Amino acid sequence: MAMNLSGKKVAVLGCGRSGVAAARLALAKGAGEVCIFDSNPKATCADAAIRFVAGAGEQEAQAFAAEIVVLSPGIEADIPWTLAFTCAGAPIIGEIELGYHFYTGRIIAITGTNGKTTTTALLEHVLLQAGRTAKACGNYGYPLCELALLPEQPEFAVLEVSSFQMETIIDFRPEVAIWLNFAPDHMDRYTKVEDYFNAKLRVFENMSEEQLAIVRVGEKLPGIKPRVAEFSSVADSGQLCYKDGYIMEGPAQRTKLRGTALEQAHNAENAMAATLACRAVGLSDEQISAGLCSFCPPGHRCETVAEMDGILWLNDSKSTNLHSTEAAVRSQTRPIILLAGGKDKGLDYTAINPMLAEKARCCIVFGQIASQLMNTFSPVCRTIQVETVQEAVVAAAQEAKQGDVVLFSPGTSSFDQFTGYVQRGECFRAAVHKTLNL
């Protein structure tokens, strides 16, 4: 049911694409006064027609006396600056919650610590290949509020949702929700792992038995109400599993992934989750298989950068936590030269040591967290400490032998040296090309 915004004063916090979309939607749906606020005094707004306040403080927040506060992703709901906007008793909702009330199509939501973006892009691709209308949105692609503004809304919103976005839902309810995996992350934002888990778990909060939860085997999700379909790349249980390059349903081979961009185990899990979701919304297995096999994943996710002299160089810069690196390491069949490092997020990396002892010939660590990783990895694997990604690539070229894979899977965020994982991945690619004279 649409939210009543008629005549309301709406404060939108954050002037990025999501904030602008939320403000435009609120105005289009009858809000009396809409203003975008940003705490950064140098911030600018892409839409000059919307009232905007840069460098806003708590005084400006209280003076506006909002009746509804809409939070952009990444802005915390419980900090004093945000709470100052609620002085008149206004509820805080997220951009996704606002968009949900005015988007009229069907929602497939994807959450998890790793694999969300690939699965979101994959679902969009399969649906489009099958002749349906769909848009990737949320944390990847369009803000949901932009979809709600379209004169012809797509049938499907394929919505990547983060824990931050789920903190501010009220009525949000997808038709299908995918839970890919869970591992500790964002401990620079949450004080306890349980807080991070519970925030993500809210994706199921308003669902009933009429909706479907798609869950990786072994994930413990207490008290969820939707019916559950499971998948696994390591166990034979679940509706779908992965064996010898095939998605399996019991003894039957469903889709051959060997030779496709999805054949590694972590991507096979994304493919199985997408398969179950597409089945649930009415696609045939033939349509799903065709879409899976023609898919090319987004960049910086175990993508091949080069293969020379029998050495494979993989860019997994999107790996921003230990679980992602662990999945990338597990998927490799060659001896590994692992390049890891970046910003200190307060994570414990000892859990990966048994796998490194088994599969890695050498670890090369860099960035702010390099000393910690040196102390963690060196008892189980030859470890070299450098400062930069470029130096790590040079060291890897000296260490690697024919038959090895050089795996750039940092295992933490990039903000010590880069603006984001994309810039970090491009730096790795450029360093490989320069070192190998490509």
All domains of the chain in start order, with CATH? 9-90 (3.40.50.720), 98-293 (3.40.1190.10), 303-435 (3.90.190.20)
- How far is Cα 186 from Cα 199, in angstroms, rounded to an integer? 12
User: What's residue 92's pLDDT?
Assistant: 96
- How far is Cα 15 from Cα 139, in angstroms, rounded to an integer? 16
Specify the pTM.
0.78
User: What's residue 130's pLDDT?
Assistant: 98
Cβ-based neighbours of 25, under 8 Å, separated by 6 or more = 98, 99, 102, 145, 148, 149
Per-residue pLDDT of the chain (438 residues; tens, 9 = 90+): 678 999 999 999 999 999 999 999 999 999 999 999 999 999 999 999 999 999 999 999 999 999 999 998 878 888 999 999 998 899 999 999 999 999 999 999 999 888 888 899 999 999 999 999 999 999 888 999 999 999 999 999 999 998 889 989 999 999 999 999 887 555 456 667 788 888 899 999 999 999 999 999 999 898 899 999 999 998 888 999 999 999 999 999 999 998 888 888 888 999 999 999 999 999 999 999 999 999 987 777 888 889 899 999 999 998 888 878 988 898 788 899 999 999 988 888 998 999 999 999 999 999 999 999 999 999 999 999 999 999 999 999 999 999 999 999 999 999 999 999 999 999 999 999 999 998
User: What's residue 1's pLDDT?
Assistant: 62
User: What's residue 185's pLDDT?
Assistant: 54
User: What's residue 188's pLDDT?
Assistant: 56
User: What's residue 189's pLDDT?
Assistant: 61
User: What's residue 230's pLDDT?
Assistant: 97
User: What's residue 76's pLDDT?
Assistant: 86
